[in-house]
Structure 1
Amino acid sequence: MKNLKIIKSLIAILLFVATNFVMGQVRFSPKVGLNFSSFKGDNSNSDVEGRMGWHVGADLRVGESSLYFRPGAYFQSFTARLINYDANTEFRDETKINMLKLPMDVGLNLTRAGGFLEVHVFGGLVPNILLGVREKNNFYFDKDKVKTFNLGANAGVDVDVAFLTFNLQYEWGLTKFLKEDNNKNNIFAIGVGFNF
C-alpha cells in the first residue's frame, strides 16, 4: 500500500513536469561540483569521518513565475577517512561512499527572468539513497554500517550568468547517517553547470 502511494506521487510529479516541459516552462540545468561532508562515527575498534567528494547531476526549473519547483537528481561520491585502533596502533585509510540524491526544492528568482544575470535562492528536502561503499580490508566499515535511506534539508543560491550557472548550497542532515551512531551528515557543496 505504501509503495502504491509512492508510485502515484512520482507519476503525478512526472505528469506535472512533462506538461510544463511541453509548454516550454522547464529549464534544464546539468551541474558538476565538489562537496564536503561532515559526519563522524566511532565504535570500540574504529572511527570514520566524512571528507571531500564530488557530484554530477541535473536540476529542473519548472514554471515561468518567480516562484518555481526545482527537482533534481545527483550522483554523489565522497571520501570517508577510516581510523582503526589495534593494540595501541593507529591504522588510517580512506574509502568511498556513493549516494543518489533527489532534491525536491522550491526556488525563487530574485531578479528579472531572462536577464544576463539572474540570482535564485532555493530550499527543500533531499532524500538520499545509498548506492554503495568501497570496502577496505582490516577496517570494520562497509555498506551495512550506513543507513540505506536518509533525509536532509537544504538551502542555497544559484547565480546564472548568460548560459552558465554557479551553485552554492548547504544540506543539514535530518536523520541518522550511520546505523550505529546518532550523527547526521551535513554537506556543503559548490557547483557549476549550464542552463538550457
Structure 2
Amino acid sequence: MRKIILSAIAIFAFGFTNAQQTRFGVKGGLNITSFSGDNDSNALIGFQVGGFAEIKVIERLSIQPELLFSTQGASFDAIGNNNDIDYKLNYINVPVLAKFYVTKQFTVEGGPQIGFLVSAKRDGNDIKDAYKSTDLGFNFGAGYNFTDNFSVGIRYTVGLSGVVDGGDYDDIYDYYDSAKNSVLALTAAYKF
C-alpha cells in the first residue's frame, strides 16, 4: 500500500512541474453498490470523497489520477426474519483514467483502479480478515462541465477480482461466479 500511495504522490508532484497543463480538484458523491457474480445481493447506498489531478496530454485528452475514500458493499435478505444483512466495505481507491473531451462540456472516461481495503463490517461486526486486502476494477463513465470549475459525472466500476478471501478458485466458472464489487457513482467535482 505504501508503494501505491507514494506513486500517487509522485503523479501529483509531476503535475506541479507542469502546472499550466494540470488542474487539481476535489470530488464527492453517492455510491450505489452491490456484489456482482452468482449471488442475490441487494444494493447499498454509500459515498465517495477525495481528490484528483487532471493532467492534459493533448488538446482533448487528459490523464486523471484520483485518490478516493469509498464506502462499498452489499445487502442480503436474511432467511427467517425481516432484517437485511449488510456487508459494508471501506476502500481507499486509486483510479487512473483517460479522460476524453467530446466537447468542451461533455467528457467520457475509462481506466483501471486498485482499491485497498480499510475496513469490513457485517452488521457492525469486524470481518476484515474474510476479505482480500486489495481490489481490482475497471471504470468507465461520462461527465458534464457546467463551468470551467464545476462538473458532475456518472461512473460505473466493474470489479475484476473477487472480494472474499477464499483462496484459489476450482475452475473459471468459480471465478466468474465469485462476488466482485460493482459500483455506480454519481459525483460532483470542483477544479481549482
Instruction: Answer whether TM exceeds 0.5 for this pair.
Output: yes
Q: Which residue matches 1:77?
A: 71
| Structure 2 residue 171 is the aligned partner of structure 1 residue 169 | no
Question: Shift in Å at residue 183 of structure 1?
Answer: 1.9
- 2:161 matches 1:154: no
Counterpart of 2:32?
36
Question: What's the offset of the Cα at 1:179?
Answer: 1.8
Which of the residues 88, 91, 104 maps onto 2:96?
104
Are the equivalent residues in 2 in contact too, given 1:102–1:127 (CA < 8 A)?
yes
CA deviations over 1:132-188 (Å, ceiling 9, x no partner): 123547xx8711121110100111112111132001111111111122372211211
Task: Decide whether aligned partners of structure 1 residues 175 and 161 sit closer, same or farther in structure 2, where only a CA change above 3 A counts.
Answer: same
What is the TM-score normalised by the length of structure 1? 0.76
Secondary structure (helix, strand or coil) at the match of 2:18 reads helix
Gaps of at least 5 residues in structure 1 are 113-117
2:48 matched to 1:59? Answer: no
Instruction: Using the TM superposition, give the Cα deviation of residue 59 of structure 1 relative to its aligned residue in structure 2, in angstroms.
Output: 2.1
What one-letter code is carried by the residue in structure 2 that aligns with 1:123?
A: G
Kindly tell me the number of residue pairs found equivalent between the two proteins.
180
Assess, with a 3 A threshold, how the Cα gap between structure 1 residues 32 and 6 changes in structure 2: closer, same or farther.
closer
Matched, 1:122 2:109: yes
Q: Retained in 1: the 8 A contact 2:34–2:73? A: no
1:94 to 62, 68, 86: 86
Structure 2 counterpart of 1:143, from 108, 128, 142? 128
Instruction: Tell me how far apart the structure 1 counterparts of residues 114 and 74 of structure 2 sit (CA, whole Å).
Output: 20
How far apart, in 2, do the equivalents of 1:153 and 1:93 lie? 27
Q: How far apart, CA to CA, are the structure 1 residues paired with 2:119 and 2:38?
A: 20
Higher-Rg member (1/2): 1
- Alignment-derived partner of residue 187 in structure 2: 191
